[in-house]
Amino acid sequence: MAKMTMVQAINLALLQEMEKDPSVIVLGEDVGINEGVFRVTAGLHRKFGEDRVIDTPLAESGILGTSIGMALAGLKPVCEMQFDGFSYLAIGQLEGHATRYRSRTLGHFTCPLVMRFPYGGGVRALEHHSEARESMYALMPGIKVVIPSGPRNARALLVAAIRDPDPVVFMEPKRSYRAFREEVPEEEETLPIGQAHVVQEGADLTVVSWGAMMRATQQAVAEVQDRRGVGIELIDLLTLAPLDQATIAASVKKTGRCVVVQEGPRFYSASSEIVATINDKVFEYLEAPIKRVTGYDVVTPYFSREEHFIPGPDKVAHGIEETLDF
Amino acid sequence: MPLKDTRTFTIPFLQVLGEDGKVDPKLDPKLGDDQLLELYRGMVLGREADQRMLKLQRQGRLGTFSPSTGQEAASCGPLLAMTERDWLVPAFRELGGMLMRGVPFSRILMFWGGQEEGNVFPGAPNTLPIAVIVGSQIPHAAGVAYALKYRGEKNAAVVTFFGDGATSQGDFLEGANMAAVWKVPAVFICQNNQWAISTPITKQTVSETIAQKGLAFGMTSLRVDGNDALAMYKATRDALDQAYRGDGPTFIEAVTYRLMMHTTADDPTKYRSEEQVKEWEKKDPLIRFRIYLRGKKLWDDDREAALLEEVKQEIDAGVREYETREIARPETAFDHVYGTRHAHLEEQRAEFLGALQRSTPHG
């Protein structure tokens, strides 16, 4: 075991999968000699060479499009979009091809690739570098959307994503990249895609969150528990699509109250789907309206004001207490 | 300081077989008789299949499709140069070439008949399905070619097709550029058929040629008479040999013409003149190839009649298979969304089956 940041843990996953499987290749802008703008691909170019760690031309759609071709021809590309706001340029290839190659060819051709990128705000970054639009990806049938919250699950989930038979959008909360360290085992570890993690059990209220919001949420949960002497069940979603409806439903059935914490805008979002899931599955167990603590439906504000738009521990705690008091 | 030319470029134009059916002996790829006949058969099959599809569509037995009539040389010539080791990454106007590849005609009909089975090609390995989003398949071709190079596959390359309209797309620029930078074994064939639905090439680009766009990426790039099957064969042969040697991709602009409508949902009389169509009908790739074969004593009226009958049988068989094959159960749409099973889809499948039992389609 070594204490690692999320960047180091993701790097470990890439390194070990590349060592294990020669069909795994890494491509993206500045991922080679420069080792990625966040150093996620550190050491890979040196170890595996430029044919396996490709510094691509600057072309997001082309990066995903060529990755699709590589996947169709039997490779396992792990491509990097440099920032969340640039990933939109690849959406045409994602929705137009990656999502549907398996379906439209009845499984004859498949598209096992990982499109990974740093997402989200909180690092005082330039315009287009602070976007949390995971919901946009999660609504496309045929892809999986995975969002780790810490170093250890980031490593285990990326290994699973690389081995997955389907295209996986792997979104890395950039404000958690170096914010804290965790023990990450040297030996192989994977987590199943599509399965949420119950971080702590509790009988009085369920909180569902994911990605960078997990830290603010954990802090809020601890505060409210201390203050109110209640038991809060905390679910780290880890995979947004396909959604682990069973874990959410089982928890809310038990607690009767739920708060969903999400960084991105609220309308037509993952949080909406979680509310709908609870409505479908366990409506009769609800004792309070489901609360959503989310970003607002505004264009991502520039960084001088971004802190007001990203849910923090206070907003989350307030949401939890409102729901407890209903 | 006076301005100096730092670079000058030329765009060669290749024509082997003139409209009069005469071959330039210096450029003749010297195909054997069997290959010449195979090439002609491919073009005739493509033409006849296309015309049959038009009838089927008008009779309501087939959905909207994009006819390839007039462009047979541009896809059949390249296909004759390819082997099964090479990958074919088509657009949607390469009917003759796809049939030469060994894609069963019934599968083509299934695609345009609204069945996903039309994307699965038994007997034609390394062949991607039709790509409808214009130009979006071009990066795929570059990626497949990268995989071939990465694995060190010998004598294997990717041939991809697209139209003149596709060269305005970002994905063309991105995919072609990456292929050139990575020096992958790929051949980019642009069927410049002068029209992207109603948009003439003059509104698509003011480049004098499309071939110079390939040149801009640093690729070997040339213009070819796209209605000359021998030139299309030769250009592709040379491009494949270059790719096999590891010397990178080639861009081929095949100058041709879309004699029919864009798709059967389109009326071209609205935007182009009958005179232009008549001019290009004179350059029909089948006519000149037939004259050439007759000149070589390989062809006569009897053989033509026999070939048409043989091709008709094959087309009939394809139509029969398409029309008699049972359409897959609708719930199979749930089968291949993912390679793994997921609860929400299983629940939706069950819900779907329940609805299916209770109601009629669209009910």
Looking at chain A, the whole-number percentage of residues with pLDDT higher than 90 is 100
B117 interaction partners in chain A (CB closer than 8 Å): 106
Q: Determine the average pLDDT of the residues in A75-92.
A: 97
Considering the domain boundaries, does residue B5 fall inside one?
no
Q: What is the pLDDT of residue B272?
A: 96
- Mean pLDDT value across chain A: 97
CB contact under 8 A, A103 and B342: no
Is the domain of B355 the same as that of B299? no
CATH code of the domain in which B94 resides: 3.40.50.970
Considering the domain boundaries, does residue B2 fall inside one?
no
Structure tokens at A299: 């264009």
Chains A, B: CB contacts within 8 A come to 143
Is the domain of B62 the same as that of B171? yes
Among B76, B32, B47, B84, smallest CA distance to B314 is for B47
B55: distance to nearest CA of chain A, Å?
26
Instruction: DSSP letter for B23, please.
Output: B
Report, in angstroms and rounded to the nearest whole number, the Rg of chain B calculated over CA atoms: 22
Residue B1 has pLDDT above 80, yes or no: no
CB contact under 8 A, A97 and B136: yes
Which pLDDT band, with edges at 50, 70 and 90, does B359 fall under? Answer: confident
d(CA A24, CA A158): 12
Considering the domain boundaries, does residue B8 fall inside one?
no
d(CA A213, CA A7): 17
> Catalytic site residues of B?
258, 262, 271
Strands A114-119 and A168-173: parallel
Considering the domain boundaries, does residue B1 fall inside one?
no
Quote the distance between the C-alpha of residue B323 and its chain's center: 24
> Catalytic site residues of A?
129
Is the domain of B263 the same as that of B353? no
A165 interaction partners in chain B (CB closer than 8 Å): 338-340
pLDDT, one tens digit per residue, over B37-73 is 999 999 999 999 999 999 999 999 999 999 999 999 9
Among A96, A293, A115, smallest CA distance to A208 is for A293
Q: What is the pLDDT of residue A5?
A: 98
Considering the domain boundaries, does residue B37 fall inside one?
yes
Considering the domain boundaries, does residue B201 fall inside one?
yes
Q: What is the pLDDT of residue B66?
A: 97
Residue of B143, B145, B174 with shortest CB distance to A61: B174
Is the domain of B216 the same as that of B172? yes
pLDDT, one tens digit per residue, over A232-287 is 999 999 999 999 999 999 999 999 999 999 999 999 999 999 999 999 999 999 99
Considering the domain boundaries, does residue B3 fall inside one?
no
Among A218, A198, A217, smallest CA distance to A294 is for A217
User: What's the sign of the alpha-carbon dihedral B16, B22, B23, B25?
Assistant: negative
B147 interaction partners in chain A (CB closer than 8 Å): 69-70, 73-75
Residues 6 or more apart in contact with residue A301 via CB below 8 angstroms: A308, A309
Residue A172 has pLDDT above 80, yes or no: yes
Q: What is the pLDDT of residue A321?
A: 98
Structural domain range at position B136? 13-328
Domains of chain A, start order: 2-184 (3.40.50.970), 197-325 (3.40.50.920)
Is the domain of B41 the same as that of B106? yes
Is the domain of B321 the same as that of B303? yes
| Chain B, nearest residue to A140 by Cα | B337
A313: distance to nearest CA of chain B, Å?
32
Q: How many CB atoms lie within 10 A of CB B44?
A: 21
B133: distance to nearest CA of chain A, Å?
8
Distances (CA, A) of B240 to B100, B212, B363: 17, 20, 53
d(CA A197, CA A175): 21
Is the domain of B217 the same as that of B353? no
Considering the domain boundaries, does residue B172 fall inside one?
yes
The number of folded domains in chain B is 2
Which pLDDT band, with edges at 50, 70 and 90, does B360 fall under? Answer: confident
Is the domain of B210 the same as that of B338? no
pLDDT, one tens digit per residue, over B193-219 is 999 999 999 999 999 999 999 999 999
Residues of B with CB under 8 A from a CB of A: 87, 89, 116-117, 119-120, 128-129, 133, 136, 138-148, 150-151, 170-171, 173-175, 177-178, 181-182, 332-333, 335-340, 342-345
Is the domain of B134 the same as that of B226? yes
d(CA A167, CA B212): 36
Is the domain of B228 the same as that of B356? no
A28: distance to nearest CA of chain B, Å?
12
d(CA B43, CA B54): 17
Quote the distance between the C-alpha of residue B176 and its chain's center: 17
Residue B363 has pLDDT above 70, yes or no: no
Residue of B116, B140, B151 with shortest CB distance to A65: B140
Is the domain of B280 the same as that of B354? no
CB contact under 8 A, B139 and A68: yes
A139 interaction partners in chain B (CB closer than 8 Å): none
Residue A120 has pLDDT above 70, yes or no: yes
Helix B229-244 to helix B33-58 angle (10° resolution) is 110
Residue A130 has pLDDT above 70, yes or no: yes
Q: Determine the average pLDDT of the residues in A167-192.
A: 97
pLDDT, one tens digit per residue, over B321-343 is 999 999 999 999 999 999 999 99
A122: left (phi over 0), alpha (psi -120 to 50) or beta: left
Q: What is the pLDDT of residue B2?
A: 82
Is the domain of B78 the same as that of B104? yes
